[in-house]
Chains A and B, each alone.
Chain A
Amino acid sequence: MSMKPDAKVVLEVKDLKTYFKTDAGVVKAVDGVSFSVREGETIGIVGESGSGKSVTNLSVMRLIPSPPGKIVGGEVLFEGKDILKLTEKQMRSYRGNKISMIFQDPMTSLNPFLKISTQMIETIQLHEKDVSKQEALERSIEMLKLVGIPSAEKRIQSYPHQFSGGMRQRVMIAMALSCNAEVLVADEPTTALDVTIQAQILELIQKLSAQMGTAVILITHDLGVVAGMCDQVCVMYAGRIVEKASTDELYARPSHPYTEGLIKSVPRMDTSKKGDRLFSIEGQPPNVIDLPPCCPFHPRCNRAMDVCRSVYPPVKNIGNGHEVACWLHVEEQERAQALANDKQEEKA
Chain B
Amino acid sequence: MSTNKIPLLEVKDLKQHFPITSGSILQKQVGAIRAVDGISFDVYPGETLGIVGESGCGKSTTVRSISQLYKPTSGTVKFNGVDLVKADHRTMLKARRDIQMIFQDPYASLDPRMTVRSIIAEPMVIYNNRKLLEKPMSSIEIERRVEELMERVGLNKAFKNRYPHEFSGGQRQRIGIARALALNPKIILADEPVSALDVSIQSQILNLLSDLQKEFGLTYIFIAHDLAVIQHISTRVAVMYLGKIVEVSEAVQLYDNPLHPYTIALLSAAPIPDPQIERERKRIILTGDVPSPDKERNGCYFYDRCPKKMPWCSCHIPPMFKMNDKQEVACWLYDQTDHSKTTMEEAQADAAKVQN
* Interface of A toward B, CB cutoff 8 Å: 1, 48-49, 164-167, 194-200, 203, 221-228, 247-248, 251, 261-263, 265-270, 272, 274-282, 284-285
Contact = CB atoms under 8 A, between A and B. Distances in A.
A134 B140 CA distance: 77
A186 to B, nearest CB: 15
B170 A284 contact: yes
A332 B168 CA distance: 37
B102 interface: no
B348 interface: no
B126 interface: no
Nearest to A194: B54
A261 to B, nearest CB: 7
A251 B206 contact: no
B207 A270 contact: no
Contact of A49 (B198, B267, B269): B198
A166 B56 CA distance: 13
Of listed A48, A165, A167, A221, residue having the most chain B CB within 10 A:
A48
A261 B200 contact: yes
Nearest to B283: A199
A40 to B, nearest CB: 17
Interface string B162-191: 000000101100000000000000000000
A280 B203 contact: yes
B278 interface: yes
Contact of B206 (A164, A196, A224, A267): A267
Interface in B278-325: 278-279, 283, 285-287, 289-290
A199 B198 contact: no
B225 A272 contact: no
B204 interface: yes
Nearest to B251: A274
Contact of B200 (A164, A196, A269, A280): A280
Contacts of A228: 271-272, 275, 278-279
Contact of B269 (A167, A196, A223, A272): A196
Contact of A251 (B204, B251, B273): B273
Of listed B206, B251, B252, B271, residue having the most chain A CB within 10 A:
B271
Nearest to A267: B232
A267 B275 contact: no
Contacts of B232: 267, 272, 274, 276, 278
B265 interface: yes
A195 B227 contact: yes
Given A274-B231, A282-B204, 12 more contacts: A48-B200, A164-B289, A195-B266, A198-B271, A199-B268, A203-B283, A227-B277, A263-B273, A267-B232, A268-B274, A270-B277, A278-B207
Nearest to A263: B273
Interface string B132-152: 000000000000000000000
Contacts of B171: 284
Contacts of B22: none
A263 to B, nearest CB: 6
A262 B203 CA distance: 10
A131 B289 CA distance: 34
Given A268-B273, A284-B170, A195 B225 contact: yes
Interface string B42-71: 000000000000110000000000000000
A228 B280 CA distance: 10
Contact of A166 (B210, B231, B251, B289): B289
A198 B269 CA distance: 8
Contacts of A222: 271
Given A227-B278, A269-B255, A284-B201, A278 B206 contact: yes
B199 interface: yes
Contact of A262 (B200, B228, B252, B285): B200
A269 B231 contact: yes
Nearest to A190: B271
Given A49-B198, A266-B203, A280-B200, A248 B265 contact: no
18 contacts: A48-B199, A48-B201, A164-B289, A196-B269, A222-B271, A224-B278, A226-B273, A228-B275, A228-B279, A248-B276, A251-B274, A265-B203, A266-B228, A269-B227, A270-B272, A274-B235, A274-B252, A276-B232
Contacts of B277: 227, 270
A272 B276 CA distance: 17
B349 interface: no
Contacts of A224: 228, 270-273, 278
Contacts of A223: 199, 273
